[in-house]
Amino acid sequence: MRVLAGAEVPGVQLSTTTENRAALGLYHKLGFAVTARRVTPLWVPWLGHPAEHLCLTRRLQPADLAL
Ligand SMILES: CC(C)(COP(=O)(O)OP(=O)(O)OC[C@H]1O[C@@H](n2cnc3c(N)ncnc32)[C@H](O)[C@@H]1OP(=O)(O)O)[C@@H](O)C(=O)NCCC(=O)NCCS
């Protein structure tokens, strides 16, 4: 994120599911917030059932240059 902020990229988007508690803990700690959610069959091949897919975003700011 420091490199992206240095390149004046305005923000970062990523995705996971509500089931990946470890990933969500990390993303929230880094300042990401859920901006969209939808139950989808996308994960059925791996999980064996539909999952709630989350999109998380975080704006980058000049302060991120110090990360
Ligand atoms: C996501 C990830 C990078 C987070 O790393 P981290 O911030 O160091 O966090 P940890 O791996 O220590 O996990 C945090 C907590 O979730 C738990 N956890 C980790 N993996 C888990 C799993 N598969 N299922 C349930 N709980 C899990 C840990 O035991 C820990 O619990 P605690 O806080 O009570 O000690 C790391 O868990 C990982 O590499 N996961 C596998 C790949 C992955 O899921 N990537 C994200 C794809 S969206």
All structural domains of the chain with their residue ranges: 2-61
Q: For position 67, what pLDDT does the model report?
A: 86
Cα 7 to ligand 1 centre (Å): 29
Q: For position 50, what pLDDT does the model report?
A: 96
- Helix, strand or coil for residue 58? strand
The preferred substitution site among 14, 20, 55 for testing ligand 1, maximizing ligand atoms within 8 Å of CB, is 20
pTM of the shown model: 0.88
The number of helices, as runs of H, and strands, as runs of E, in the chain is: 3, 3
Residues 50, 40 contacting (CB under 8 angstroms)? yes
> Which whole number is the average pLDDT over 6-16?
97
pLDDT band at 28 (very low <50, low <70, confident <90, very high): very high
Cβ neighbors of 41 (< 8 A, separation 6 or more) are 50
Q: Which of 13, 15, 19, 16 is nearest to 1 (CA)?
A: 13
Backbone angles phi, psi at 61, to 5 degrees: -135, 165
Nearest ligand 1 atom to the CA of 16 is: 48
Does domain 2-61 fall into CATH 3.40.630.30? yes
